[in-house]
Structure 1
Amino acid sequence: MKKLIIPILGLTLLTACEKTPGKPIPNVIDSMAQAKEKNIEMEARKKKTDEVAVKSTNDEILQALKSKNYKAFAAFIHPEKGITFSMYGFVDPKEDMHFSKTDFEKYQPTKNLYTWGAQDGSGDPYKATINDYLTKWVFSKDFTTSQYSLNKFLGGGNSLNNLKKIYPGNDFTENYIKGTEENGKMDWKTIRFVFEKFQGKQYLVAVVNDQWTI
């Protein structure tokens, strides 16, 4: 019996040595691959849900602007970061008009005049109340009929567009109305809404208008 124990023990040790240390067995590899695929699928679903939420918020904001329901519009302003308004595609955080949510709600009904920026061509300051700016500049056309895109620019001309540089990683929407043939398609206009998620909800941090500039 003692003579048989030695060969059997040696065979057991040899078999153990043939296994690669640390290498997962096939069923473990399959489980890891399935888990990875599941994570990818979950991330894709999450992104799709976010896209739906952003599109829905975008459309609600447009409807609020169209109906001049600025109290409803104010509900979309970021509670902590407030909102910035840019007259053209080039965003200048130091010069563009900025309101906290509280200040916007406080001064929106008033007749206070604000300087929103310099008008292209003349360079004259554009002064208006909050309501007039939203009505005559931001929603100067019916953007509820515009072409929509998410994180993609549709309108572009000869002015600089630095939105992605100023708001890196933020989701933004574009609501674009193409120019007419009689005006050489240069009378296009667009509104871009820049969003940031806060406590599970998409909020506005910027409204950027853009159009053909001289």
Structure 2
Amino acid sequence: MKKLLVSICIIGLVVACKKNDSKPSIQTTDSTAQVKKDSLGITQTIPNKEEALKKTNDEVLQALKNKDYQAFAALIHPQKGIRFSMYAFVDKKEDKHFSKADFEKFQPTKTLFTWGAHDGSGDPYKATINDYILKWVFSKDFTKGQYSLNTFIGGGNSLNNLKEMYPGDNFTENFLKGTEKYGEMDWKTIRLVFEEFEGKYYVIAVVNDQWTI
């Protein structure tokens, strides 16, 4: 009788182990990326937030470098659109804002927009979308810049209120160090602000920064 009970217990344990082994596995790595198996047993890797933001940051910069404004437009937030700030100080009333549809509509045209005012002179900066991007937003190759996530690298005497204007949003910075010739004061940087929508990150703001008077 005792032998019969022991045999039953052993069989029960084996069955339980097999049931547990049949469940889809989910593993979390130190980087918080997830590896899981779907219902067909196919392994899928879910990128973590840091990886997703870095990837989108690089896609934005590469689109601007290639002058591929269709690819850039595809990364604009579908509902919130995109805002361009000439300097570190973000002014939601004065800085130029486009819906995704308006950006796509006006980008190929020669329509002039006022993007802000030049530091020092205070003269308004008027340009087409293409000229503004070429001569201001991507005036240097920021794909070669020093990357950071939610941390500022560059900083001058211009007030930086990005975190106050976009509380809770993630931002990236791509910083290009200045040259010795100008005492490194000719540094430039571009900051991209992102917001998640339907499981994907989109850019909602492009903030340029440089040394100001």
Pairwise TM-score range, normalised by the shorter structure: 0.7 to 0.9
- Superposition map of 1:3-82 within 5 A: 45=32, 49-82=48-81
Specify the alignment match of 1:135 in structure 2: 134
Q: Distance in 2 between matches of 1:147 and 1:44?
A: 21
Q: Distance in 2 between matches of 1:159 and 1:42?
A: 40
Specify the alignment match of 1:32 in structure 2: none
Larger-Rg structure: 1
Q: TM-score, normalised by structure 1?
A: 0.79
Task: Read off the aligned partner of 1:120 and give its amino acid letter.
Answer: D
The structure whose residues are more often helix, as a share, is 1
Q: Secondary structure at the match of 1:196?
A: strand
By how many angstroms is 1:184 displaced?
Answer: 1.0
Percent of matched pairs sharing the same residue? 72
Q: Distance in 1 between matches of 2:130 and 2:71?
A: 13
By how many angstroms is 1:199 displaced?
Answer: 0.1
Task: Spell out, residue by residue over 1:112-132, the C-alpha distance to the aligned partner (whole angstroms, 9 max, x if none).
Answer: 000000000110000000000
Gaps of 5+ in 1: 1-40
Specify the alignment match of 1:165 in structure 2: 164
- Superposition map of 1:46-125 within 5 A: 49-125=48-124
The structure whose residues are more often strand, as a share, is 2
Q: Distance in 2 between matches of 1:43 and 1:59?
A: 23
By how many angstroms is 1:42 displaced?
Answer: 8.0
Q: Secondary structure at the match of 2:126?
A: strand
Q: Distance in 2 between matches of 1:213 and 1:176?
A: 16
Q: Distance in 2 between matches of 1:63 and 1:44?
A: 25
By how many angstroms is 1:205 displaced?
Answer: 0.5
Q: Distance in 2 between matches of 1:46 and 1:85?
A: 32
Q: Distance in 2 between matches of 1:192 and 1:169?
A: 15
Q: Secondary structure at the match of 1:45?
A: coil
Task: Spell out, residue by residue over 1:125-176, the C-alpha distance to the aligned partner (whole angstroms, 9 max, x if none).
Answer: 0000000001110000011111000000000000000000000110000000
RMSD of aligned C-alpha atoms? 1.5
Q: Secondary structure at the match of 1:57?
A: helix
By how many angstroms is 1:46 displaced?
Answer: 5.5
Q: Distance in 1 between matches of 2:131 and 2:187?
A: 21
- Superposition map of 1:150-189 within 5 A: 150-189=149-188
By how many angstroms is 1:43 displaced?
Answer: 9.8
Q: TM-score, normalised by structure 2?
A: 0.79
Q: Distance in 1 between matches of 2:64 and 2:126?
A: 19
Q: Secondary structure at the match of 2:89?
A: coil
Specify the alignment match of 2:212 in structure 1: 213
Specify the alignment match of 1:4 in structure 2: none
Gaps of 5+ in 2: 1-27, 35-46
Q: Secondary structure at the match of 1:62?
A: helix
Q: Distance in 1 between matches of 2:164 and 2:89?
A: 10
